[in-house]
Amino acid sequence: MNDPRPLVSVVDDDASIRESLPDLLRFFGFSVATFASANAFLASNTTGETQCLILDVVMPEMTGPELYRELSTRGRSIPTIFITAIRDDATRSRLIKLGSVDCLYKPFSDESIHEAVKTALQRS
C-alpha cells in the first residue's frame, strides 16, 4: 500500500457501521479498510499494514475479543479499539485490562472515536 496515511481497519458485521465509520475516519485523515467478519480480516493482506484496529465486540463466528487474542497468538499486536452496542462496564473494563486502547459504546461521538484512534496510533 502506497498511501502515506495511517491505515485503520474496521471489523464489524453491521453494514451501517462499515458504511458510515470509514467516511468519518477518512474525513479525519486516515486510510480505511473494512471487513464484515474477523475471518475476512485475517484472510486479508492488510493485517500487517493495519496501524489501528476497530473491532465490534459481538460478531458471529469469531468475536472481537477472540480476534484480538488470535492476533496476539500470531505475534501481531495492533492497537485496538473495541466498539459495542451492549453497555457492559465489566466487559469494557476487561477489554481495557487486556490491552485495548478503549471500548466505546455505540452510538459514540465523532470526537470520542477520533481521540481513541489518535491514542491508538501513538501506540503503533
User: Is 13 inside any structural domain?
Assistant: yes
In the chain, how many domains are there? 1
Taking the alpha carbons at both ends of the chain, their separation in whole angstroms is: 17
- Give the residue-averaged pLDDT of 11-17: 97
Name the residue type at position 70: E
Looking at residue 45, what is its pLDDT?
Answer: 93
User: Is 72 inside any structural domain?
Assistant: yes
- Using CA atoms, how far residue 112 sits from 26, 59, 73, 80, in Å, is 15, 22, 29, 14
User: Is 1 inside any structural domain?
Assistant: no
User: Is 104 inside any structural domain?
Assistant: yes
Q: What is the CATH number of the domain that holds 59?
A: 3.40.50.2300
What's the CA gap between 40 and 123, in Å, rounded? Answer: 24
Ramachandran region, residue 54 (left: φ > 0; alpha: ψ -120 to 50; beta: rest): beta
What's the CA gap between 15 and 111, in Å, rounded? Answer: 21
Total-model pTM: 0.95
| pLDDT surpasses 80 at 49 | yes
Helix (H, G, I), strand (E, B) or coil at 121: helix
Looking at residue 3, what is its pLDDT?
Answer: 79
Boundaries of domain holding 55: 7-123
